[in-house]
Amino acid sequence: MADKTPPSDDWWTALYGDDHQPEPEKTPGPYERITHYVIHERHTDPEERKNRKAAQLAFNGAAAGLGWATGYVPALTDVLHDVGEIGTGGAIVIGTGFVIVATIADRYGRHAARLLPEPVQPVVRFLARVPLAGAVLALCLFSPGYWSAP
C-alpha cells in the first residue's frame, strides 16, 4: 500500500534551497544618503542654548571689532556712503554684495581651517569671520544722508 502522508510544506526549499546565494553588500551610490554619520541631538536645555548664543555673539562681536580696528569696517562704510549719495538702493545692493562675498570667504576659510594643525584652527576660523562680521556691521551702520552737509 502507498503512503498516504501529505507532502512536506518544505518542498520549495528541498528543490531550490541549494541555489540560494547571499546578496552582495550594496555600496551607496553618489546620490544615496549616507547614514553612517553620527547625528548630534540639538541641545534642548534653555540655559545651554543661552550660553551658546552668548558665545556666538561675543565671537562675532570680537570679529567685527577687529575689522573696525584694522580699518576694514570704516572703509566699507565710506564706500557705502559714497554710493549712498547717488542712491540708497545702490548702497544697499553693494552692501548686500559685500555680505554675500564675505559669507563665501567665511565658508571657504572655515573649511580650509580643517586642513591645518589643531591649535591653529580656532585662529583661522576667527580670522575668516572678520570680513563677514565687518560687512554686516558696515551695512548696519549705513545711514543715508547722515554724513552729507545740510
Render 34-63 in DSSP notation, one character per residue. Answer: P--SPPPPPP--HHHHHHHHHHHHHHHHHH
pLDDT at 126: 92
Domain carrying residue 100 = 46-150
Answer whether residue 55 is part of any domain: yes
**Residue 59 included in any domain:** yes
**Helix 46-69 and helix 121-141, axial crossing angle in degrees, nearest 10:** 80
- 138 in Cβ contact with 73 (< 8 Å): yes
For the record, the C-alpha cell of 121 comes out as 584652527
Least Cα distance to 128 among 114, 142, 138 occurs for 114
Within a domain: residue 140? yes
Does any domain span residue 9?
no
Within a domain: residue 58? Answer: yes
Please tell me the predicted confidence (pLDDT) of residue 149.
47
Number of domains, the chain: 1
What pLDDT is stored for residue 87 in this prediction? 80
Q: How far apart are CA 46 and CA 138, in angstroms?
A: 31
Would 138 be classed as within a structural domain? yes
Per-residue model confidence as pLDDT tens for the chain (150 residues) = 555 655 556 666 666 665 556 666 666 565 555 555 555 556 567 777 788 889 999 999 999 999 999 999 999 988 888 888 888 888 888 989 999 999 999 999 888 888 888 888 889 999 999 999 999 998 888 776 555 544
In a domain, residue 69? The reply is yes
Q: In the prediction, which pLDDT does 92 show?
A: 86
Phi, psi of 109 (to 5 degrees): -65, -40
Q: Is residue 66 part of a domain?
A: yes
Residues ≥6 apart with Cβ < 8 Å to 84: 90, 91, 142, 144, 145
Query: What is the grid cell recorded at 67?
Result: 575689522
